[in-house]
Amino acid sequence: MKLLISNDDGIFAAGIRTLANTLAAQGHEVTVVCPDRERSATGHGITMHQPIRVEQVTSIYHEHIQAWACSGTPADCVKLALDALLDNAPDCVLSGINHGANLGNDVLYSGTVSAAMEGLLEGIPSMAISLASFSYSDFQPAADYACQLVLQLPKLDQPLLLNLNIPPITKSKIQGIAITRLGVRRYQDLFEKRIDPRGKTYYWLAGEVLEESDRDLPHSLPNSLTTAQNIDFMTRFTTDVKALKTGYVTVTPLHYDLTAYSDLSALQNQFTKL
């Protein structure tokens, strides 16, 4: 398969090197285009008012991998690769392996997920892969699962973005793969006020993750479902946050359509009367 790989941790990150080298060793045609430095939590931002520069990197990847370091965001990297660097579209776009989880509403901020989403916007099956720890550094189990699942992407009924989160444990302790829905992962944000050496005030964002509660459920399920079907749906598919805690690799299908379908009819009835 022809694969394009990006990330938000940068060209020298251990996660992307493990993923790209593992896929290349299995015979896939791999191209890497990713930021030249860490660009975490940049969301789906793109560069419009300054040039984007790229430089080939040859020393740290498998000999058959063509790798580029890009001055732009993760989304920039994929856009540039698809429109300018690659001769033909890849079969799949992969992003990661990210150092740290991308669970629940993290996906709205994640540069890792946004790079994969850029592939989906072009109709290409995509996958975002994250190792759910900032301290655990064995990326090989995550790469092995990605290698298995990437073979299934072209077989899907329609292009999707699969968001993978791998628990930071040895492969023998992983319980399997769970198909999940997004949970809620709220943060208690804290802006620390500091003073720089020139006496200027600046703020540094810190804070802690607040675990999801049973009350934090999606508010917009398909309006074709009855109440009983909604309950069954919620019961059958646990959240990515909960499944990861019990040792499962979580696979959450994502799409760029954020429409709140269950609210369309109510809004039409309410607003057309104005």
- Structurally, what CATH architecture does the domain formed by 2-181+237-258 represent? 3-Layer(aba) Sandwich (3.40)
Report the distance separating Cα 113 and Cα 73, nearest Å.
12
Six-digit token string for 44: 């789906």
- Predicted confidence at residue 263, as pLDDT, reads 83
Cα 265–chain centre separation: 31
Q: What is the pLDDT of residue 155?
A: 94
pTM: predicted TM-score of the whole model, two decimal places: 0.90
Please report, in tens digits, the pLDDT of each residue of the chain (274 residues total).
999 999 999 999 999 999 999 999 999 999 999 999 999 989 999 999 999 999 999 889 999 999 999 999 999 999 999 999 999 999 999 999 999 999 998 999 999 999 999 999 999 999 999 999 999 999 999 999 999 999 999 999 999 999 999 999 999 999 999 999 998 877 777 788 899 999 999 888 876 666 665 444 555 565 556 666 666 667 788 999 999 999 999 999 999 998 888 788 888 888 987 7
What is the Cα–Cα distance from 274 to 270, expressed in whole angstroms? 8
**Domain boundaries, given as residue ranges, for the chain:** 2-181+237-258
Amino acid sitting at position 12: F
DSSP at 91: S
pLDDT at position 218? 52
